[in-house]
Amino acid sequence: MKIKSLLLLGGVGLLWLNKSQAATIISNKTSLGHAYVKAMPADDVTIKGKITDKSGPVPGATVTLKSNPGIGTSTDGDGNFTIKVPANGILVVKSMGYKTQEIAIQGKTVFNISLAEEDNNLSDVVVVGYSSKKQGELSSSVSVISAEKLKGVASNDVISMIQGKAPGVVVSSASGDPTSAPNITIRGISSINGGTAPLLVVDGNILGAYGSEGATYSPNDVESITILKDAAATGLYGSRAGSGVIIVTTKTGKAGEAKIEFNSVVGFNSPSTGNFKLMDSQQLYDYQKKFSNPNPAVLNTDTNWWDLATRDGMTQNYTVSASGGTEKTRYYVAGNYYREQGTVVNNDKNAYNLRTNLSSQLTKKLKLSLLLNGVFTRDNYANSNSLGDGYLNLPFDPAYNMDGTPIDPRITPSWLGRDVENFLHSTQYNLSYARSLNLSADVNLDYNIVKNLTFSSYNRTTFYNTFAVDYYDKRTKEGGATNGSLYNSTSYKNRLLSSNRLKYENSFGENHLTVLAVGEAEKSYYDEANLNGKNLPAGRPVMSTATDIISNPSGGTNEYNFSKYLSQVDYNYAGKYFAIASFVHENSSRFGINKSGGDFYQLGASWILSNEQFLKSIKAISFLKLRASYGTTGNAEIGDYPSLGLYSIDTGASYGGLPGASPSQKGNPNLTWEKQKTANIGLDIGFWNRIDLSVDLYDKRSNALLFFVPLPSTEGYKGYFDNVGALKNRGLEFNLTTKNFTGEFKWETNLNMAFNRNTILKLTNDKDAINPGGSQPSAVGRDIFDWKMPIWAGVDPNNGDPLWEKVITDADGVSHIAVTNTYAQATRQYTGTSASPKFTGGFTNTFSYKGFSLSAFLNFVYGNEVYNNSRAYFDNDGLYESYNAMVLKSGWTRWEKIGDVATHPKPVLGGNHDSNQQSTRYLENGSYIRLRNVTLGYQIPENWLSKIKISSARIFVSGDNLWTGTKFSGTDPEVNLSSGVSSFRYPLSKKVLFGVNIGL
């Protein structure tokens, strides 16, 4: 018989014992009718438990006693916790991004608690610095892009895939060549002479500045991308974080049955010509009749050189992966093949990638991770001026002989084109290609010394080898002058990195503390050798010392070292107040012997107001957080020997036919790091768990800028590097996500925008400007990319002459604007415009209904001006009669008679008063909005697939760059924003892709 309760009656009153062992005394001080009840404290019990979510353990969750929040603990890395509390207490379980739970103990001692996520991304784990945090706990400015957001885009470079996905991150490309890498800046340009590419970190280890290591991983292996923007986030990377940090996390296996996935994307590329169009024979003949006397016989030929130079290509992207494992050992293995034919003939990219990620819990305390990656690429280039001929060759000139073979213009007397070249003839014999092999191996160890104290050792080695060939056959125009030539180059790079970390993490009630200490060392070697040869027999793209003339052999060896020591303290109270502070000391062989060390610090804090009681009653606000940070970072991307005195070996120093060396760079033992000081204020707010808005204001100032200071020839050196100058970037960023419909039909919208302004504050030797005669002089008080050139004043309606502004200063010192038709008299002026955009952004809409999904992504750039340098060649008012000409854009007109108000001067044989010289005539609005990607997919129901043993299948069709809205007259307004110049641009590819994802 079980007794659930017992009542005892005595002189002191009643004693009630219930099944929970809690005791209650009913006093009998007066009478039983006026009794009072007093609860006796229950005995303390030790509770053990594990907290998980649908994906696995939840580390860092807080467990407190409701009646006394000072009694509490937090879960370890495996989600486990231990706490001693009264047996009749109530536990409160909290974790950022999850719904709070209250659990009555009721005498139990073991709990397995499963947390349900809030309907937001606050619980997403973000990799920042040398650790991971939940997104809602961050005090810094970061953007996170998941693999899900990269679906549907086929590319071999993940950076090009994030264009428009994160505010303040500007990805631009000056070429549609699939072998070229894009340019990327984060929160503006932070240096004038130093490198401006962000630091790339892959799986916790530094890789180097973006673009410095070649192809390093497949986008298909990427789990997430985290972009660190303010000092609190980037600061732990110290000297190399001044231009921002991009952290790439690759996929890992999960415990469970083996999961096999096959992904295939196949599609077609076509060149985009935008608003640009070249003349055909009839159009060019009619145009040239205005200023010359062309032979009507030229109309017998109408060659479309642009169509011959470009083509419709094909893109293929195949990935096979296997992942899985046990609770102790997990694996992810993947192989990828990527091929993209460029839209210019003889240009394509081939890449092969193999990755293996293994992790094993060797003992209860020791975990080993082994990450191996290999990438082999073969890039083929068009080295016979295919694109230039496509732009400029005359449609009057035939491409082929009567027998169908390509014409050699050098032996064709009737050839009219100025450059006397036919790329179709040259590409039969010339070739240009590059091979690269990039291998990396990471060995990472995590050892739990004692409870709450972990030692980690992350180690990486990389080997990067390239071999490039440019061969010009003696039968071609390019190789004829040297009787056949060959250029070979080989490079080899090896990096060794060891990062050792000690981390202490503990909770004291509602106080959570993390302390991190890191020691890191890096060594890099680089060797290159170049060998040129001429007098090669036709058809032999290899050298032989027996017959060939070896010329200009060259080579070099570079080496640099970095070391770093850092400490960080991270504090969190009650899931409401967060603070972080860090200090970094670095040493680098790149800087002067007196200043090789650099110190950097960072501070950050945030306050989650929505966790405060006074905001609990405002149901509309589901989340509200204020953030602030301040700190310093640096820039060390300035070459390997900027502080040393260097000599150069060149022909000018030769003596008696023997090579010699001459002084080139003067040493500076006091050269040190560029430093950026960044302040950031941010606000994150959510409404009804459906609208999320993040806003950031920042001020980033770069000081001690690295400049190469030229010296007079009497010094004997060309110049030296010094720390002079200062630059400022200020900006505003916001990111808005709305869940418009959340039922069976889902619709989500994201809009992000960024506004940035940069200003030069100081220059070398107190100069007002550097390169004052250039089109973009660096001048104090101005944007680094402000345009300066003669200002186009239009066309004289009386005679069709070009006009430019001429500034005249009278005797009183007052300036007046006049016009002149003489270019040499035109005044170079600031135009009031810049290559820097006023704002950039992206706009995404995602729809889903049952198994169907549709996403459309647009990115936009506004307020920048692009110098269309190509127009000087094919929009030149008769200067180059032997080049083709462009069809005038809608709204443009040529002067023909007195009184005409035209945009283009009267065409004159030999040119009209230098009208094609540099001026704002060719400076155009570079703003655009582009449908970057649209994807329609269907997830096949599982019950359809079960009979054929397939666990999942998705099919989709997508399109890239299908539409662009712009006023720019060239093929494409997207240019490298650091120069703002478009010159014979390789056309952007429009792609239509078909894909399938299959899981077994």
- What local confidence, expressed as pLDDT, does residue 688 receive? 92
Residue 103 β-bridge partners: 91
Backbone Cα Rg of the chain: 34
Contacts of 665 (CB under 8 A, 6+ apart): 641, 642, 644, 645, 646, 717, 718, 719, 720, 721
d(CA 164, CA 751): 9
Position 157 scores a pLDDT of: 79
Q: Residue 947 class from Cβ within 10 Å (0-12 exposed, 13-18 middle, 19+ buried)?
A: exposed
Average pLDDT, the chain: 89
Residue 765, token pair as written in the block: 């030797």
How far is the CA of 532 from the CAs of 492, 536, 538, 546, 908, in angstroms?
18, 11, 16, 15, 44
SS (H, E, C) 111-175: EEEECCECCCCCCCEEEECCEEEEHHHCCCCEEEEEHHHHCCCCCCCHHHHCCCCCCCEEEECCE
- Residue among 878, 876, 914 at smallest CA distance from 294: 878
CB 980 within 8 A of CB 865: yes
Residues near 258 by Cβ (< 8 Å), separated by ≥ 6? 322, 323, 324
pLDDT band at 651 (very low <50, low <70, confident <90, very high): low
pTM confidence score? 0.86
Kindly tell me if the per-residue pLDDT of 31 is higher than 50. Answer: no
How many Cβ atoms are within 10 Å of 749's Cβ, its own excluded? Answer: 15
pLDDT tier at 946, thresholds 50, 70, 90 = confident
Q: Which two tokens stand for residue 874?
A: 């094919």
728: left (phi over 0), alpha (psi -120 to 50) or beta: beta
User: What's the rounded Cα separation, in Å, for the pair 202 and 225?
Assistant: 9
State the pLDDT confidence band at 94, using cuts at 50, 70 and 90. Answer: confident
The label of the residue with tokens 């081939």 reads 350
Say if residue 376 is exposed, middle or buried (CB neighbours under 10 Å; 0-12, 13-18, 19+).
middle
Which two structure tokens, joined as six digits, stand for 92?
Answer: 């409160």
pLDDT at residue 13 in the model:
45
DSSP letter for each residue of 476-520: SHHHHTTTSEEEEEEEEEEEEEEEEEEEEEEEETTEEEEEEEEEE
Return the bridge partners of 698, or none.
680, 731
pLDDT of residue 637: 84
Could you tell me which of 223, 241, 220 has the C-alpha nearest to residue 145? 223
Sequence letter at residue 804: W
Using pLDDT thresholds of 50, 70 and 90, give the confidence band for residue 768.
confident
Asked whether 332 and 251 are in contact (CB, 8 A), the reply is: yes
- Which DSSP state fits 886? B
Per-residue b or e along 659-672, where b marks 16 or more CB atoms closer than 10 Å to that residue's CB: eeeeebbbbbeebb
pLDDT at 657: 67
Cα–Cα separations (whole angstroms), residue 934 to 634, 747, 845, 960: 39, 15, 10, 7
Confidence of residue 27 (pLDDT cuts 50, 70, 90): very low
The alpha carbon of 829 is separated from its chain's Cα centroid by a whole number of angstroms, namely 34
Listed in sequence order, the residues at least 6 apart from 869 whose beta carbon sits closer than 8 Å to its beta carbon are 922, 981, 982, 983
As a whole number of angstroms, the distance between CA 632 and CA 793 comes to 46
List the domain boundaries for the chain: 6-39, 44-114
Evaluate if residue 769 carries a pLDDT over 90: no
pLDDT category of residue 122 using cuts at 50, 70 and 90 = low
Cα–Cα nearest to 424, from 392, 385, 460 = 385
Domain 44-114 fold is Immunoglobulin-like (2.60.40)
Residue 438 token pair: 């990039």
Q: Please compute the mean of the pLDDT values over residues 263-288 and round it to a whole number.
A: 96
The pLDDT of residue 215 is 60
Residue carrying the six token digits 């415009």: 833
The candidate with the shortest Cα–Cα distance to 215, out of 184, 185, 165, 178, is: 178
CB atoms within 10 A of CB 164: 22
Q: Which has more pLDDT, 772 or 322?
A: 322
Asked whether the predicted pLDDT for residue 146 surpasses 90, the reply is: no
Q: How far apart are alpha carbons 418 and 386 in whole angstroms?
A: 15
pLDDT at site 36: 43
Position 20 confidence tier, pLDDT thresholds 50, 70, 90: very low
| C-beta of residue 808 within 8 angstroms of C-beta of residue 818 | yes
- Label residues 792-823 b or e (16+ Cβ within 10 Å = b): bbebbeeebbbbbbbeeeeeeeeeeeebbbeb
Partners of 953 in the beta sheet? 998
Query: Is the pLDDT at 849 greater than 80, yes or no?
Result: yes
Q: Confidence class of residue 214 from pLDDT cuts 50, 70 and 90?
A: low
Per-residue pLDDT band for 58 (boundaries 50, 70, 90) equals confident
pLDDT > 50? residue 37? no
Q: Residue 38 has what pLDDT?
A: 45
- Please name the helix (run of DSSP H) or strand (run of DSSP E) that holds residue 256, with its range, or none: strand 256-271
Give the residue from 64, 146, 70 showing the smallest Cα distance to 105. 64
Q: Are 286 and 298 in contact (CB under 8 A)?
A: no
Lowest mean pLDDT among 70-79, 584-593, 857-866: 70-79
Amino acid letter, residue 424: L
Whether the per-residue pLDDT at 191 is higher than 90: the answer is: no
Q: Which residues of 990-1000 are buried (b: 16+ CB within 10 A; e: fewer)?
A: bbebebebbee
Record the tokens describing residue 831, joined without a space. 């135009």
Can you give the pLDDT at residue 164? 86
Do 587 and 562 touch, CB atoms closer than 8 A?
A: yes
Are the C-beta atoms of residues 205 and 498 closer than 8 Å to each other?
A: no
Reading the block at residue 557, the tokens are: 């060896």
Token pair for 489: 């180059």
Task: Dump pLDDT digits (tens) for 853-906.
Answer: 999 999 999 999 999 999 999 999 999 999 999 999 999 999 999 999 999 999
The size of the chain, in residues, is: 1000
Dig out the tokens for 214 from the structure: 């070649």
Q: Please give the pLDDT value at position 42.
A: 57
First to last CA, the chain: 55
| Residue environment code for 286-321, b if the CB has 16+ CB neighbours within 10 A, otherwise e | ebbeebeebeeebeeeebebbebbbbebebbbebbb
Specify the higher pLDDT residue, 546 or 372.
372
